[in-house]
Structure 1
Amino acid sequence: MTITVAELMTRGVHVMAPDDSLDLAARLMDDLNVGAMPVCQEERLLGIVTDRDIVVRGIARNRPVDRTPVSDVMSQPVRFCFDDQPVNEVLPEMRQAQIRRLPVLDRRRRLVGMLTLADLATKADPQAAAAVLAAVSEPAEPDRPALPQRRVA
């Protein structure tokens, strides 16, 4: 029997609007105990904002967290899967792209949930989740030249 994404995904996902501030996103992530939130305009997925986006593209660049919209730092284009896809089709993409969380859309391209490593580990095959986690945990190629390293005495 083929397991579909819909059978494993987390439903009732909270979303951010593109003009919501970084500090609101950070507070919601803390309240909800999540590391990423989809950014939507109405039901259309525009991107995803992660705790790392807030730190690296927001705080580290001295952007005012109370006035910077999540759309300025969100990751896009966002990878996603469909709710009727077999999970065994989605896992290789999560491994290859080093993704821990994947927005799930229906065939009308409306956000209907999120598929996470936790979903895979608790509701499906723990070995499959371990394989994705191992791939996600491998160092990725930097997307820009490295800064000089600082040494601590």
Structure 2
Amino acid sequence: MPVADVARTAVMTAHGDQTAGNLATVMVEENVGSVIIVNDNEPIGIVTDRDLVVEVLEPRRDPTETTAEDIMAEALTTVAMSDGIFEATRTMRDHAVRRLPVVDEDDNVAGIVTMDDFVVLLSDELANLSKVVEAESPPY
């Protein structure tokens, strides 16, 4: 199964000059845990809700003065829409990330896939398998 079948295409993006306060507002309003930072729609970083806490709130930095570029994770790991879900989960494991921006053939942001998306997929598949087991089990 390709990542395209699981990825969310409604993804929040922002430019590196956006303030941390602005990013926090977007995350709350859109009910998301991250914003992908882009330059001409190519992903250059990501800011998560945890980044806001660790990089802004805890050290008491001014969220109106701190920008996305100041706090974003720059070692960005991405996957392609055509990559398989097993490849994506291995990438998450190997890079210790919970979110992967998904890019198209031009390396532009096309979506995002998260560990939560894979947990939901796995639970759906396990539910399907349990129905098969139940249907094939003899009555007691």
Fold conserved between structures, TM > 0.5: yes
Q: Which runs of 5+ in 1 are unaligned?
A: 129-153
Please give the alpha-carbon distance, in whole angstroms, between the structure 1 residues aligned to 2:91 and 2:116: 16
* 1:80 aligned to which of 68, 78, 84: 78
Deviation at 1:118, TM superposition (A): 2.7
- Specify the alignment match of 1:108 in structure 2: 106
* 1:17 aligned to which of 15, 18, 40: 15
Q: Which runs of 5+ in 2 are unaligned?
A: 126-140
Is 2:136 aligned against 1:126?
no
Secondary structure of 2:14's aligned partner: coil
Secondary structure of 2:11's aligned partner: coil
Please give the alpha-carbon distance, in whole angstroms, between the structure 1 residues aligned to 2:117 and 2:85: 11
TM-score in terms of structure 2 length = 0.82
- Specify the alignment match of 2:35 in structure 1: 37
Please give the alpha-carbon distance, in whole angstroms, between the structure 2 residues aligned to 1:97 and 1:127: 26
Give a deviation string over 1:33-53, Cα, whole Å, max 9, x none: 111110011211110001111
Is 2:44 aligned against 1:54?
no
The structure where helix makes up a greater share of residues is 2
Secondary structure of 1:96's aligned partner: helix
Secondary structure of 1:46's aligned partner: strand
State the identity as a percent. 27
- Specify the alignment match of 2:88 in structure 1: 90
Q: 1:126 is matched by which residue type in structure 2?
A: S
Q: 2:122 is matched by which residue type in structure 1?
A: D
Q: 1:119 is matched by which residue type in structure 2?
A: D
Secondary structure of 2:77's aligned partner: coil
Map residues 142-153 of structure 1 onto 2, 5 A cutoff.
none
Question: How many pairs are equivalent?
Answer: 125
Is 2:12 aligned against 1:5?
no
Instruction: Say which one has the larger Rg.
Output: 2
CA-based RMSD of the aligned residues comes to 1.7
